[in-house]
Amino acid sequence: MMAEEIIVYLQREGASRGRTTGPSSPSRQRALAGTCPDPSLDSSPEHREYRARGRPRMKTVIVVHGGAWAIPDMLAEASMAGVKNAAWAGDAVLKNGGSAIDAVEKAVRSLEDDPSFDAGHGAVLNIDGEVELDSIIMDGETLATGAVASVRNIANPVSLARAVMEKTDHVMLTDRGASMFAERIGIPIADDLVTELERKDWEQSSSFPVGVEKFFNTQWGHDTVGAVALDSLGNVACATSTGGIRNKMVGRVGDSPIIGSGGYADNRSGAVSCTGHGESILKVTLARLILFHMEQGKSATAAAEASLQYMGERVKGCGGAIVVSSTGDWAASFTTPCMAWASIKEDVLHCGLNPKEDFTERLK
Amino acid sequence: MMAEEIIVYLQREGASRGRTTGPSSPSRQRALAGTCPDPSLDSSPEHREYRARGRPRMKTVIVVHGGAWAIPDMLAEASMAGVKNAAWAGDAVLKNGGSAIDAVEKAVRSLEDDPSFDAGHGAVLNIDGEVELDSIIMDGETLATGAVASVRNIANPVSLARAVMEKTDHVMLTDRGASMFAERIGIPIADDLVTELERKDWEQSSSFPVGVEKFFNTQWGHDTVGAVALDSLGNVACATSTGGIRNKMVGRVGDSPIIGSGGYADNRSGAVSCTGHGESILKVTLARLILFHMEQGKSATAAAEASLQYMGERVKGCGGAIVVSSTGDWAASFTTPCMAWASIKEDVLHCGLNPKEDFTERLK
């Protein structure tokens, strides 16, 4: 269900919101922060259009990833097909004049629905054999953001994260609170997230450390999905979603739903979605680090590579990142053995899986 | 209970860890990240001592805060006494040759135990009348960090966060998982965290938005506590702990336990603990932003003030931060009406509550 559909749900069903706080309008957000109005914070479509007048239309960009890890041969083809589908889905939103935030949500939902990836359907199991999902979404225009952590039985955590952003006064809800909110706004329970393959792999796997060692060297683990986009009005956005690492402790949260680590978006620099060893990404706040490098003049590729190299040197962690700058410069970089990724800009699709791979297709 | 005491608990009680992953030694952390050994990651006391040879002993610094908000007159005296006690507690650790991480844990435990502050005893209640606590601790030498979010019935979340850092392969545990871990390592349940005053205030308060509006303008809300320290070996650390905002949604997580937002520590620049409007702090990853400014040459005060001003301009949020650089430069800055803070460096205690206030006491 898209966030728009959730709103329809609420209107149609007249769902009682109980003690949930109401929709978070810009004026209400200002009241919450106890400060004076700032018109630049109004993100209504009319106001976006107003502000866009006189600005040149940007060439749109979407970049997606399906996780940085040692992707086994048996999953290579499905992973490539999955990231290309997601890029097409996001690109279609942008081509129709949709916003960057709509595009990244659409792309990540496509990856969550694809059982080849460790997010939504296809998520890995924690040490107790449960699915616990994390996600973040962020709007680079206003820095508005929403995230959920350790939420169970939700098919599309990215849309729940968006609902946190748009329908509450908060940024992040966890576990029990995230589930209560999902139920309150009418998101159905999904009890079919676990694939047969994952159940089998989980039963065969022993303890978490073995899982993580193998995670970077064999076919035993999966990883995060994500998307970044630049829309025609020059706004950027990011979204990230994951089931985490197989055999993780109950309640473990990695980088994915953490602002500045799993993702960050700011029109003044660009948008990033990260993947890889979550605990390492957190320690260096990888997404924010990449954007700091870009603020200081580095290209998207140079910023991503410098930050991943720093993470390797400082905390010995591997990972990957997709990046788009607010001028349309983009990158897909990784220090893991593989990362499935795809991008579309000016009707040209790029994609790859192994290091230095860059296949190109011209779209009609 | 200090982290050391938790270890004793484990040894004494021979507590079964079930499927919990074991202590996270440096070699194991390396194996997890799938990379080669790096001696600089060894944080054992012997290794710290080895590396410290030849380095000049640093003059130690501790800075603490009791939250940036509109502190009412009735709490002013208790708040000042509380932050001074916490600074003394942290300073005593440092004077005895203790580490920065021990000092910030000790200082924050002192604030958590003081019912004047919104952390541990004295925490505010969520919309369902429950205490949900968040905390982070971070070691600037190794970037090792631990955090807990939405954990209930724990007197000292900062020590649970430290246990996550030292006894698991993870960085963050939430809600149910954090409680399971606390139980497994023998941390007792605390059912006396709610003060009579808080119960009364919660009953009188209506919905969250009213609470937050008042939070910045009247006596209706509390806020976070935190500490930063520099030890004699030149290592920095930070810790932050909170009960959040009264009437928050169940499962709401603000900035406090989020790396880069509620706190960050890095020997290459310094350590920061933040407080204020959590959702605003998250949007600008305030702690990391302050340290980026310092990496580019700004003083602790200039970096904190520039970052708080940016937060005010960009997302209209108010807050405060305490900072120590790895050379001993320190700051306590805020854009809220008040922030109770105290620092000790070279036997001189500074403290304040209102803007531009700086009382000085020479310690014997």
Range of weakest confidence among A124-133, A274-283, B17-26, B310-319: B17-26
pLDDT above 80: residue B127: yes
Whole-angstrom distance, CA of residue A287 vs CA of residue A270: 10
Confidence category of residue A314, pLDDT binned at 50, 70, 90: very high
Percentage of chain B beyond pLDDT 70 is: 80
A157 in Cβ contact with A173 (< 8 Å): no
HSE-CB at B113 with a 13 A cutoff on CA atoms is 12
B331 in Cβ contact with B308 (< 8 Å): no
Range of weakest confidence among A41-55, A112-126, A274-288: A41-55
> Residues of A within the annotated binding site for substrate?
252-255, 275-278
For residue B259, what is the DSSP state?
B
Range B230-246 average pLDDT: 96
pLDDT the model gives residue A7 = 31
| Contacts for A320 with CB less than 8 Å, ≥ 6 apart | A65, A67, A68, A274, A275, A276, A308, A332, A333, A334, A335, A336, A339, A341
Beginning with the edge strand found earlier in the chain, give each strand of the sheet holding B330-334 in spatial order.
Answer: B263-266, B270-276, B319-325, B330-334
Confidence category of residue A215, pLDDT binned at 50, 70, 90: very low
The Cα-based distances of A225 to A254, A331, A363, B161, B245 in angstroms read: 13, 16, 23, 28, 32
Tell me which residues of chain B, numbers 304 to 323, contact chain A at a CB-CB cutoff of 8 Å.
312, 314-318
A36 and B CB contact within 8 Å: yes
Phi, psi dihedrals of residue A75, rounded to the nearest 5°: -105, -5
Neighbour tally for A223: CB within 10 Å:
33
Whole-angstrom distance, CA of residue B336 vs CA of residue B318: 6
A68 in Cβ contact with A317 (< 8 Å): no
B260 and A CB contact within 8 Å: yes
Candidate CATH numbers 3.40.50.300, 3.40.50.150, 3.60.20.30, 3.40.190.10; the one for domain A61-362: 3.60.20.30
Shortest distance between the Cα of B285 and any Cα of chain A, in A, equals: 7
Q: In Å, how far from its chain's centre is CA A196?
A: 25
| Top mean-pLDDT range of A181-185, A194-198, A245-249, B19-23 | A181-185
pLDDT above 90: residue B16: no
pLDDT the model gives residue A201 = 85
Neighbour tally for A277: CB within 10 Å:
29
Whole-angstrom distance, CA of residue A345 vs CA of residue A357: 17
Rounded to 5°, angle at Cα A282 from A276 and A286:
70
Domain boundaries, chain A: 3-52, 61-362
Q: Which of A28, A33, A254 sits opposite B277 (nearest CB)?
A: A33
Residue B10's SS3 state is helix
Confidence category of residue B74, pLDDT binned at 50, 70, 90: confident
pLDDT the model gives residue B36 = 30
pLDDT above 60: residue B329: yes
Confidence category of residue B335, pLDDT binned at 50, 70, 90: very high
pLDDT the model gives residue A75 = 87
Question: Is B328 known to sit in a ligand binding site?
Answer: no
Range B282-289 average pLDDT: 98
Query: Between A181 and B33, whose confidence is greater?
Result: A181
Shortest distance between the Cα of A348 and any Cα of chain B, in A, equals: 33
Whole-angstrom distance, CA of residue A145 vs CA of residue A259: 8
* Residue-wise pLDDT tens digits, B172-204: 999 999 999 999 999 999 988 999 988 888 888
Q: Is the pTM of this model over 0.90?
A: no
What ipTM was assigned to the predicted interfaces of this complex?
0.85
Whole-angstrom distance, CA of residue A350 vs CA of residue A360: 5
Closest CA to A119 of A227, A2, A249: A227
Helix or strand holding residue A311 (H, E): helix A300-315
pLDDT the model gives residue B15 = 31
pLDDT above 90: residue B279: yes
Closest CA to A124 of A227, A63, A208: A208
* Residue-wise pLDDT tens digits, B34-61: 443 343 444 455 545 545 555 678 899 9
Whole-angstrom distance, CA of residue B214 vs CA of residue A258: 28
User: Chain A partners of B35 at a C-beta cutoff of 8 Å?
Assistant: 312, 316-318
Residue B133's SS3 state is strand
* Residue-wise pLDDT tens digits, A33-75: 434 334 344 455 554 554 555 567 889 999 999 998 888 888 8
Q: Give yes or no: A145 in active site.
A: no
Confidence category of residue B219, pLDDT binned at 50, 70, 90: very low
| Top mean-pLDDT range of A27-31, A125-129, B340-344 | B340-344
A207 in Cβ contact with A62 (< 8 Å): no
Helix or strand holding residue B31 (H, E): helix B26-33
- Annotated catalytic residue, options A224, A240, A242, A336: A224
Whole-angstrom distance, CA of residue B133 vs CA of residue B241: 7
B154 and A CB contact within 8 Å: no
Query: Residue B261 has which token pair?
Result: 């937002």
Q: In Å, how far from its chain's centre is CA A286?
A: 14
| Contacts for A12 with CB less than 8 Å, ≥ 6 apart | none
